[in-house]
Amino acid sequence: VEETLVLVKPDGVARKLSGEIIRRIEAKGYSVVDLRMVQPERSRLEAHYAEHQGKPFYEPLVAFMLEGPVVAIRVAGDRVIEGFRVLAGTTDPTLAAPGTIRGDFGRDWGLAVQQNLVHGSDSVESAERELGLWFD
């Protein structure tokens, strides 16, 4: 069975949406197989977002994630990597379809693209790498 890493980002935790996000994951039929609340340190975030290093949004994104805590969730299911990204909706909550996590709860304000509630791995390779990073 495929596995993915889901993170409830600091805005999702602060807005008390962790339960709602887990509810949607389970309602879809996926299984939560491990879960932890983490106060992320800079080195973990730099490794997690290595592919974005040097982009204009990188430093503000790491600073936002450092506000923590985040909820890290190991989720299993058939095609769960693709499936969770559909549940999450597109990166920019303004453009995310209603019915998705970002479409339903993302706020239309200046930092909406950065503070978009959740992260989900985007491939088998990144899922393996990210699960190793957040669950030792």
Q: Point out which span in 22-30, 36-44, 67-75, 110-118 binds ligand ATP (CB under 6 A).
A: 110-118
Number of residues that bind ligand ATP (CB under 6 A): 9
Of residues 83 and 120, the one with the C-beta less far from ligand ATP: 120
Q: By C-beta, is 32 or 50 nearer to ligand ATP?
A: 50
d(CA 27, CA 20): 10
Report d(CA 67, CA 88) in Å as an integer: 21
Q: Please, are residues 82 and 90 in contact by the beta-carbon 8 Å criterion?
A: no
Taking residues 65 to 104 in sequence order and writing x for each that binds ligand ATP by CB under 6 A, - otherwise, the string is: --------------------------x-------------
Q: Which of 3, 93, 119, 134 binds ligand ATP (CB under 6 A)?
A: 119
- Output 61 or 72, the one with its CB closest to ligand ATP: 61
Alpha helices in the chain (DSSP H): 10-14, 18-27, 42-48, 58-66, 80-88, 101-105, 124-134
**Residue 119 bears catalytic tag:** yes
The span from the CA of 38 to the CA of 95, in Å, is 29
Q: Which of 101, 116, 127, 130 binds ligand ATP (CB under 6 A)?
A: 116
Residue type, 130: E
Q: Which residues are catalytic?
A: 119
